């Protein structure tokens, strides 16, 4: 499995149920890009003393003290900051979590498995950082943008690809599946038991998706029709294959996910 896919799957597998922790020391460290975005969106970045190399939004986050990357944060760097709280996710940061527990450093497990879960996480982080009112305002604004989306009478069949080797998509229990549904689409693998199933290319052909979304760097929209039998897929014939969506808008369960849903809805319902 390539490094890009390992990171993407590792990041999205962090989606689930949140577990708040006690707060007791100085600044906070974020090992999760989406949490870093939430902290900045709440205007609480002055409390953020460290983040990871994958924390690249907003631009100011790029210049924060780096404690390593998302997959391999440096425990010694984290400890040296003497944080009162560390934001992490499981299973990606299981070893770090165990060490922090031994050292008596509080941590918060980020696992917003649904769009509603993102709003709940914003609220929880707001409380932990002492900016609860700002969190309430942010959630209200994000809900308002979502509520402005129309109820679409049709739901085009969608195939969303997150890897070409192996060929991988998103299943019914995944965070991304909820985004597709909210944007007014029907995930052709929405009934798959696995969150991120490896798929048979012939099944995709038979399912005949009306929209294909390529969310990895291994393939361009123009190359999709070169696959055996794929030139007959409706999405290819009608030139509704897209590779221009910002992955971070969909894969990061933070404030920008609403923007991602709106952008996706524009691809699914251009009229």
Domain positions in the chain are: 3-147, 157-268
Output the CA–CA distances (angstroms, integers) from residue 238 to 74, 210, 233, 234, in the order listed.
48, 8, 9, 6
How far is it, in rounded angstroms, from Cα 208 to Cα 174?
21
Round to whole Å and give the CA distance between 76 and 79.
5
**Model pTM greater than 0.85?**
yes
Bridge partners (DSSP) of residue 50 are 29
C-alpha closest to that of 141 among 44, 267, 41, 46: 41
Inter-CA distances, 36 with 13, 55, 88, 149, 166, Å: 17, 6, 11, 27, 30
pLDDT tens sequence across 104-115: 999 999 999 999
248-266 confidence digits (pLDDT tens): 999 999 999 999 999 999 9
List, for residues 20-40, the tens digit of each pLDDT value: 344 435 799 999 999 999 999
Reply yes or no on whether the pLDDT at 15 is more than 70. no
The pair of three-digit structure tokens given for residue 202, joined into one six-digit string:
């012939």
**What is the assigned CATH class of domain 157-268?**
alpha beta
Instruction: Name the 3-class secondary structure at 262.
Output: helix
The CATH architecture to which 3-147 belongs is: 3-Layer(aba) Sandwich (3.40)
Taking CA atoms, 112 is separated from 18, 54, 165, in Å, by: 6, 18, 27
Separation between Cα atoms, residue 213 and residue 141, nearest integer Å:
28
Section 160-189 average pLDDT? 96
Q: What residues contact 219, with CB distance under 8 A and at least 6 apart?
A: 161, 164, 243
């Amino acid at each position: 499995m390539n490094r890009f896919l390992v990171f993407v799957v590792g990041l999205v597998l962090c989606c689930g149920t949140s577990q708040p922790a006690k707060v007791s020391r100085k600044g906070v460290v974020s090992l999760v890009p989406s949490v870093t975005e939430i902290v900045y969106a709440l205007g609480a970045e002055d409390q953020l003393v460290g983040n990871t190399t994958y924390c690249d939004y907003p631009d100011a986050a790029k210049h924060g003290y780096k404690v390593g990357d998302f997959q391999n944060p440096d425990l010694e760097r984290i400890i040296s900051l003497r944080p009162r709280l560390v934001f992490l996710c499981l299973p990606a940061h299981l070893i770090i979590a165990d060490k922090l527990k031994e050292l008596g450093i509080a941590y918060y497990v980020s696992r917003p498995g649904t769009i509603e879960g993102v709003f709940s996480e914003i609220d929880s982080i707001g409380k932990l950082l002492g900016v609860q009112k700002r969190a309430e305002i942010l959630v209200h604004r994000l809900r308002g943008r979502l509520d402005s989306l129309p109820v679409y009478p049709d739901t085009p069949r969608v195939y969303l690809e997150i890897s070409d080797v192996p060929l991988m998509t998103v299943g019914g229990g995944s965070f991304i599946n909820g985004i597709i549904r909210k944007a007014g689409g029907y995930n052709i693998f929405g009934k798959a038991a696995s969150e991120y199933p490896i798929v048979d290319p012939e099944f995709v052909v038979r399912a005949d998706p009306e929209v294909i979304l390529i969310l990895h760097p291994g393939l361009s929209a123009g190359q999709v029709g070169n696959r055996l039998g794929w030139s007959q897929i409706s999405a290819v014939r009608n030139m509704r294959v897209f590779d221009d969506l910002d992955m971070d808008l969909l894969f990061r369960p933070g404030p920008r996910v609403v923007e991602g849903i709106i952008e996706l809805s524009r691809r699914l319902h251009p009229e």
